[in-house]
Structure formats: structure tokens, C-alpha cells
């Protein structure tokens, strides 16, 4: 029972300490502005949309295709 209480105490302490440590790390880092020269120069790729369209088409094909199992089965 003492091990369970000690483990619960350590977990609670880590949950309390984690945001404090993260906040201290962010506060110590120097914040610099990023260059905005090419901010509006957004270039899209074609690979991800093409793969998404292919996945959608294959999904529809799998849902619609019955595999040619239209033949009746007789005993």
C-alpha cells in the first residue's frame, strides 16, 4: 500500500512540476521575429492531393465492387 501511495505522490508531483519547467524553458529562450519577406508566397504541392483523390477513388471502388460473386450457389 505504501508503494502505491508513493507512486501516486510521484505522479502528482511530476504533473505539477511539468508545466513549471516548460514555462521556465520558454521564458529563458530569446524570442526573435521571423522574416516575412516571402510570407504570401504559398506554393502548394500536387502529391498529397493526388494521393488523397486516389485513396478516395479506391475506397469507392472497394465499396461498390462485389468481386463478381453474382453467381447463385446451389446445393
Report how far residue 73's alpha carbon sits from residue 66's, in angstroms, rounded to the nearest whole number. 15
The full set of domain ranges for the chain reads 1-27
pLDDT at 24: 65
pLDDT at 63: 86
For the segment 16-75, what is each residue's pLDDT rounded down to a tens digit?
888 877 776 555 556 667 677 666 666 678 888 899 999 999 999 888 877 766 677 776
Per-state percent for the chain, helix, strand, coil, to nearest 5: 60, 0, 40
- pLDDT band of 7, cuts 50, 70, 90: confident
Amino acid at each position: 500500500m505504501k508503494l502505491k501511495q508513493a507512486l501516486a505522490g510521484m505522479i502528482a508531483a511530476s504533473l505539477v512540476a511539468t508545466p513549471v519547467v516548460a514555462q521556465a524553458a520558454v521564458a529563458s529562450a530569446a524570442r526573435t521575429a521571423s522574416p516575412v519577406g516571402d510570407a504570401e508566397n504559398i506554393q502548394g504541392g500536387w502529391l498529397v492531393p493526388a494521393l488523397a483523390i486516389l485513396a478516395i477513388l479506391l475506397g469507392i471502388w472497394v465499396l461498390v465492387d462485389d468481386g463478381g460473386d453474382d453467381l447463385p450457389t446451389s446445393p
